Amino acid sequence: MSVVYYKFKSAKDSDYDLYTFDGTGTSVFDLKKEIITAKKLGKGTDFDLAIYNAQTDEGSVLRLFILHEFGNENID
């Protein structure tokens, strides 16, 4: 089982949530879908979540990008 730790930029530094999944990678689409569901943000059709690596501040541009490096992810 693998884990992605995430938080919204407006959250406190230690206020991380986590997304667990089987395997060694997940798509950005699946990650966003799980965050929208977990945070009860509706259908997610009127906004988009930006995914960033907290250590490098690098964003994911491709929606089908597979997350293989698991760490702290910030969500806009």
CA-based end-to-end distance of the chain: 26
pTM for this model (two decimals):
0.68
According to DSSP H, which parts of the chain are helical? 28-38
Domain spans of the chain?
2-75
Q: What is the fold of 2-75?
A: Ubiquitin-like (UB roll) (3.10.20)
Per-residue pLDDT tens, the chain, 76 aa: give them.
Answer: 888 888 888 888 778 888 888 888 888 888 889 999 999 988 888 887 888 777 777 775 434 344 444 444 455 4
Q: Is the dihedral of CA 60, 61, 64, 65 positive or negative?
A: negative
